[in-house]
Amino acid sequence: MVQTRIKPYSQQVAEIARRQEQNRLFRRNQALGLLLLALGILVWWSSTPTQLDFHSRLVAALRQMQPRRPRSPGHRNSPER
């Protein structure tokens, strides 16, 4: 069986202070890591085209591929109507 010994008060206080300092550094590093992650996501997000951008580029590319047919005079958007 493991015996626990009674530690001197000064050693207990030193251990508690060391744990508090480790915890403070851990939380600081955790916060910095999350900020870096958020910054990385923002950089990635701003560099990717939006859906609207993609849609308009796709429509423009498709229009260049297919010549437009002239509308018949009876079409609902024809100027003769």
pLDDT by residue (tens digit) across 47-79?
776 666 777 888 888 888 766 666 667 667 666
Q: Mean pLDDT lowest for which of 9-13, 32-36, 43-47?
A: 43-47
pLDDT band of residue 10 (cuts 50, 70, 90) is very high
Domain presence at residue 15: yes
C-alpha to C-alpha distance for 28 and 22, rounded to whole angstroms: 10
Please give the residue that has the higher pLDDT: either 34 or 49.
Answer: 34
Domain presence at residue 41: yes
Amino acid at 33: G
pLDDT at 80 (0 to 100): 59
What domain count does the chain have? 1
C-alpha to C-alpha distance for 1 and 4, rounded to whole angstroms: 10
pLDDT at 5 (0 to 100): 85
CB 72 within 8 A of CB 78: yes
List the domain range (segments joined by +) for residue 34.
9-65
CB 71 within 8 A of CB 77: yes
